[in-house]
Structure 1
Amino acid sequence: MGSTSEFNRRDLVKRAAALGIVAVPAMSVLSACAGASGGGNDKVAKGTKSAKNPLAVNESAGLDVVIFDGGFGDKYAKDAQAEYVKAFPKAGGKVKLSSTQKIQSTLQPRFNGGNPPDLVDNSGAEQMDFGTLVAKNQLSDLTPLLDAPSVDDPAKKVRDTLRPGVIEMGQFGGKETWILYYAYTVYGVWYSRGNLHKLDAEYPETWDDMLALCAKAKKKGIAGWTYPGKYPYYLPFSLYPFIAKIGGAEVLRRIDNLEPNAWKDPAVKAAFDAYYELYKKGYVLKGSPGLDHLQSQKAWADGKALFIPNGSWVENESAKQIAANPHFDLAVGAPSSLSASDKMPFGTIWASGGEPYIVPKAARNSEGGMELLRIMLSKKSAQNFIKQVSSLCSFNGGTEGVTLPPGLSSAHTALQKAGSNIVNPRLQDWYVALQKERIGVGALGEMMAGRMTPDEAIQHIQKYADDTRGDSSIKKYKR
């Protein structure tokens, strides 16, 4: 993927976190520490369980937290840390929070030595591979946190305050929850209402209308779409929910489960054909196959293309370019309807957790790590996060009384419109190389550059999926 400098500013924080698409190979690291959980790192004694301390935190024990310092920064976590110290003043100066962009290289020696932090925001370009972490039994099950009473309403469990799909994202085929995703990302087709208004248009709810609008834009010298051709695994942000809309969520479930011929479903072919038509008719910005994520976003934000497949982090990441156009009015659209026979309604969208937090199994103070997460999943902390970083939180609330910027407001509205029609594909969490290199670069990128037909892309992807299924060294997961 290249050096981390290629991912300046947000360092793919959300896409890496939410999708697991960026991961430094971690097998050797975690293999080395698989037997190190006892490595002289004695657990602190539990405290006394009470209504105010439901996780039985040792009130005088230290707490060691490491945060990924990406587009979200670390202030939101430091603010929650201050709340932790208020709750446990005896811990005082022993509560330590550090931040880094190099999660794996910073933490590798500590995992190897059996002395990991108590809480880790495992995100960014050096994100540790979750499949390996789980397979090597390196994580604590977060069920005690999920079953603890929420900070705001003791009658509600923490699990009952989370947005749809957050808990499932942290699971790997079993009942245990290994990861708590703190941010909540809405994926889809991002656009400027202002730029559409210049064409006397609104977001196209049908694919025929999408093609007609792209044709209209082309006559004005504007491309319909662009995408980061260097990192074509952005395409699924809108393509996967499009597949689900056409054929039903069951199609994505079969794909996630690596079922034979899952990619040969007619819904996949229909979706691929539709996207390929964008290329064939010249509706994709010239040069897109050579653009990285920042270059494609800049071209889009500068008005050279109407639409881009992306996630809700794009509002912060393109803030300067968007601000240059006071009438930009950022918004996100769900996949357009291909036909009246689509299995899911217009509004079906992909939304899921981002910014993944883990409590290492060998942590000295795992109760403290979970308690800090419990504090972060309060209305106060959630609102603080939303205001600071312009992102929704996995806590299902916190937007009341908060003025949301246009893109985030649109994403919130899209979630409300989707209702139960929210999809959350897991392929990119479970099989990093398959999603990123093979499906993304090896097939979708080739197809959208015109170097592979939809049929050829499907044939290649099905083979890649079959190879993954047949590789006994890769742990398999199902939903």
Structure 2
Amino acid sequence: MGSTSVNRRDVMKRAAAAGLLAVPAVGALSSCASGGGSDNKAEKGEKSKKNPLGVKEDAGLTVYIFNGGYEDKYAQFVTDMYAAKYPKAKPEQKATESIATQLQPKIIRGRPTADVINNSGADDMNIGKLVKNEQVADLTEVLDAPSWDDPGVKVRDTLVAGMADMGAFGTKGCYQLNITMTAYGNWYSKRLLNDELGMEYPKTWDEMLAVCRKAKAKGIHGWSYPGGHPRYMLFSMYAMFAQVGGREVIEAMDYLEPGAWRHDAVKSVLEAFEELIAKKYVLTGFDGPQAHTEMQTAWTKGKCVFVPDGSWVENEAKDTTPDGFGMTVGATPSLSKSDKLPFGTLYAPPGEPFLIPAKAKNVQGGLEWLRMMYSKKAARNFFKEVSAIPAVKGAIDGMDLPPGVDSAQKAITAAGDNIVIPFFKEWYEELFEDDWDKAMGKFMLGDMTVKQVMDAMDKASQRVAKDPDISKVKKV
């Protein structure tokens, strides 16, 4: 793919027109405005009004779903839709926690066994490398296809603004599509915070410290995080970096600018969290392979007030969440009066990505599966199954929302244009992952100073920037 120049523009415009979300102006990639499908012609049928993507009706279809917080029942609904329309295809669905381990070697060899892949979880594939090596299909064809619910409306026009742009990766095509909006932040129990502690959600960092003091006096930790995945702490920090220093802080990180991780805003935010550590407000541990669920269980049992998490947590922790818990996401507290962005700034990107291997046996069938996934009935089922906000505009209008989803939707709406999305996580994910975990893990245990964390992250950023074998998204 080589170095790619893109304009940093507003890819997340308002989606509130559909009654769902107000999504912000943020930096992003080129839009998914042109291109189309894969060159794989092995399994194609005749296009028609009833079959706009030219699916071969008897071609098999294999779908792989990440078996994580959302499990795979929501996707089975779509696979069943496919089977109903194309019974001769006999589609099959498989669930795994090891997406990259199981699927990437076959994709690299040009013999993928999957036609649709939910590329998610800790063992996800590096989508940037797949795009560079032309190993994923262009999804523009499905975006420009008639939507499942209304043939007069394209699929792209049924989606919350910005969903398509997330998959462009500095190209003219689109190689990854998401199915939900994810609200990251400081998750808490309303019952514990409001009723048991008698406190309101902190709008400033001083108020956050006050909550932690009162919690500690009652034998409760203010915070916790998964020791096995300490990068979760960044779920609460990304928006705060931008809130304190402005969007340019995240933009500098996106474009691998030297010194981006040494910005004063990063320093101020890390120092704020360092105070939580120094005062022993943080419940540590949870170092095993299921660290995140172990942390969540401690939280739902009332052992801490706040955890850094995403909106999948409501579904993932449902078995341990007591009635009346009041699961809620809180946005970034203000650090000082000089903050560049207001209280309520939120990290809320599109989530749960899907892709189709370029040499999949049934690319057209994969595109059709995605078209079905973006139907309103599939979107509503997704919400019912996993309590998450779907990507289809207006899909959950008028429905009763559980506490976590309700709070996530309200937080996103309240944030308005003040939503922050760090794209470097998508562009250079695999290369940064180890650095995030190592640096944040040592920091949260008090074994690494603020300066050392900033130096480590900046060093990692520059290692990527100087690697000639890594394609870069270039700022113009």
Counterpart of 1:381 in 2: which secondary structure?
Answer: helix
The letter of the residue matching 1:470 is: K
Distance 1:365 1:201, change over 3 A: same
Q: Deviations over 1:12-33 (max 9, x none)?
A: xxxxxxxxxxxxxxxxxxxxxx
Question: Does residue 453 of structure 1 match 2:449?
Answer: yes
**What residue number does 2:95 align with?**
100
Paired with 1:74 and 1:448, the residues of 2 have a C-alpha distance of 33
Q: Which moved more, 1:305-314 or 1:365-374?
A: 365-374
Shift of 1:320: 2.6
The alpha carbon displacement at 1:64 in A equals 3.2
1:220-250 deviations in whole A, cap 9, x for unaligned?
1211111112211101111001111112222
Residue matched to 1:177 = 174
CA distance in 2, matches of 1:267, 1:107: 40
The residue identity in structure 2 corresponding to 1:453 is T
Residues 285-333 of structure 1: per-residue CA shift (max 9 Å, x gap): 255788922222222221111101011121122223222xx33111000
| Alpha carbons 2:247, 2:420 under 8 Å: kept | yes
Q: Is 1:380 aligned to 2:377, yes or no?
A: yes
The answer (yes or no) to whether the contact 1:48–1:58 under 8 Å persists in 2 is no
SS of corresponding position for 1:319: coil
Q: Which one-letter code corresponds to 1:473 in the other structure? A: D
Match of 1:472 among 439, 461, 468: 468
Partner of 2:335: 338
C-alpha deviation, 1:93, in angstroms: 2.8
User: Is 1:310 aligned to 2:305, yes or no?
Assistant: no
Which of 140, 157, 168 matches 1:143?
140
User: What are the ranges of 5 or more consecutive residues in structure 2 without an aligned counterpart?
Assistant: 1-37
CA contact (8 A) 2:243 2:340 kept: yes
User: Could you tell me whether the CA contact under 8 Å between 1:69 and 1:99 is conserved in 2?
Assistant: no
Q: Quick one: which of 271, 274, 280 aligns to 2:272?
A: 274
CA 1:418–1:246: 2 relative to 1, 3 Å: same
Q: Give the RMSD, CA atoms, in angstroms.
A: 2.4
Q: 1:464 to 1:390 in 2, by over 3 A?
A: same
| Equivalence map 1:187-206=2 (5 Å) | 187-197=184-194, 198-206=196-204
Distance 1:115 1:94, change over 3 A: same
The correspondence of residues 254-403 of structure 1 with structure 2, limited to 5 A, is: 254-285=252-283, 287=285, 292-323=291-322, 326-403=323-400
Aligned-pair identity in percent equals 45
Provide the rounded CA distance (Å) in 1 between the counterparts of 2:262 and 2:405.
35
Does the 8 Å CA contact 2:225/2:284 hold for their aligned counterparts? no
Matches of 1:259 and 1:81, distance apart in 2: 43
Q: More displaced, 219-228 or 400-409?
A: 400-409
Give the deviation of 1:164 after TM superposition.
4.2
1:39-58 matches, within 5 Å, as 43-50=42-49, 52-58=50-56
- Normalising by the residue count of structure 2, what TM-score does the alignment of the two structures yield? 0.85
Letter in 1 for 2:396: T
Q: Does the Cα contact within 8 Å between 2:387 and 2:405 map onto a contact in 1?
A: yes
Aligned to 1:243: 241
- Once the two structures are TM-superposed, the CA of residue 74 in structure 1 deviates from its matched residue by 3.0
Tell me which amino acid in the other structure corresponds to 1:96: P
Equivalent pair of 1:289/1:449 in contact (CA under 8 Å)? no
CA distance in 2, matches of 1:289, 1:75: 28
**Which stretch of the first structure deviates more once superposed, 399-408 or 251-260?**
399-408
Aligned length: 434
Over residues 165-184 of structure 1, what are the superposed CA-to-partner deviations in whole Å (9 max), with x where a residue is unaligned?
A: 42232121223210111233
Q: Secondary structure at the match of 1:338?
A: coil
The code of the aligned residue for 2:141 comes to: P
Instruction: Give how far 1:42 is off.
Output: 5.5
Cα shift at 1:97:
1.8
